[in-house]
Structure 1
Amino acid sequence: MHSFREVDILFEKDDGQVRISNLEPGTVVDNTIVSPVYSEFYMASSVARQGTTKPAKFTLIYACAPGKTMEKIETLTNDLCYDHHIVFHPVGLPIYSLLEDAVNVER
């Protein structure tokens, strides 16, 4: 489980009132609420058609290319969320991680 369930952002309208809105697709949080020991980040990559956006937590376990920055890994992860061939909006998890889970279930 993650340390939070939903995240809302406050936006101020032109008339001075504040409204609550979902996170925009591609929003990344990589400081403050993440572990200082592990390289991890939360990313809200999907569009909430109904309800609230649910950010996913990603932890980098092993870096085979040590020259890559976390920003590049976050961008790649977000880009992979747009690679679903059935739906035409970003999904919550990259399709390749969903396929990996399906293969592990079959074994």
Structure 2
Amino acid sequence: MYLGIFSSKSPKKDKIPSVHTMAYNVDPEASCYVGVHAYQRDHKDQIHAFYEMFFECLEGFFAEIGAPQRILIFRGGLSDSVIDEIADYERMQIERAIDKYREDSSFKDEVQKWDPKICYLDVSRSHSRFTVDTGDRVYENIKPGTVIDKDVVETANDFIMASHEGRLGTTRPAEYSLKYSTWPESDILDIKVLCNNLCHLLGRSPYTVALPAPIRMANFLAKRCREFKLANPNMDFDYPNFPESSKNTAYFT
């Protein structure tokens, strides 16, 4: 299961509430995504409805594919100053939702011994730029798939990846930070490959993109939620009153 989580916080002087979204795949090929969202009056980074949103994602994934044995989470929309605190909070909510689903699910025979492994990555666009010196003071963009995981990263769990080709100007890579993981060590080695492959699976783009599809989809959903509230003639920001027909569909693409 691939899950993107994104937070779009409004300025305090803005009347529009903050939007928190999750987008997850509903096919084994990780090419089709649906999402859930929540509006939040305050401007805090913590998602108050995280437990309910993640539980809904589990239900949707289970109904389409089955119980996920591995869950790869991409978290975006947070600053470096709060990510560790938020990651700890969300980890507790994830474990709580999994325990609750295991107890209350109508598929008890299938989930009785279900213990999914979680990998949680913080993802953002990097401010670093890299070029290749080809000689004679000629510099070219780095090749797609280039990974930088030493010297310029803060910890051993961080890496910078340019999965896309810089078609205009200098390539702006993405920065990944592994916050926690219960995956086996052998599977953790595949994370970079998975991140790169997911950048090829954004259905609305014919090109490889800079960020993995799950977090891009969550970002698209956040933008659509904000636009929906801006177009609401009643300016009722208290409830996420999307039409019922839009549930379990990729309406935000």
* TM-score normalised by structure 1 residue count: 0.78
* Alpha-carbon spacing, 1:20–1:35, altered in 2? closer, same or farther (3 Å): same
1:87: how far off?
2.1
Which residue is equivalent to 2:228? none
Partners of 1:87 and 1:53 in 2: CA distance:
17
Cα deviation 1:21-49 (Å, max 9, x = unaligned): 0011110001111123x511000111111
Query: 80-89 or 63-72, which moves further after superposition?
Result: 63-72
* Alpha-carbon spacing, 1:102–1:4, altered in 2? closer, same or farther (3 Å): closer
Partners of 2:157 and 2:190 in 1: CA distance:
13
Relative contact order: is structure 1 or structure 2 higher (C-alpha 8 Å, sep ≥ 6)?
A: 2
Q: Is there any run of 5+ residues in structure 1 with no aligned partner, and where?
A: none
Indicate yes or no: 2:170 matched with 1:52.
Answer: yes
Q: Percent identity?
A: 28
Aligned amino acid, residue 48 of structure 1: G
Partners of 2:192 and 2:126 in 1: CA distance:
20
Indicate yes or no: 2:146 matched with 1:27.
Answer: yes
* TM-score normalised by structure 2 residue count: 0.36
Partners of 1:93 and 1:3 in 2: CA distance:
11
Which residue is equivalent to 1:92? 210
- 1:64 maps to which of 177, 182, 189: 182
Query: 23-32 or 38-47, which moves further after superposition?
Result: 38-47
Larger radius of gyration: 2
1:71: how far off?
3.9
SS of residue in 1 equivalent to 2:205? coil
1:64: how far off?
2.4
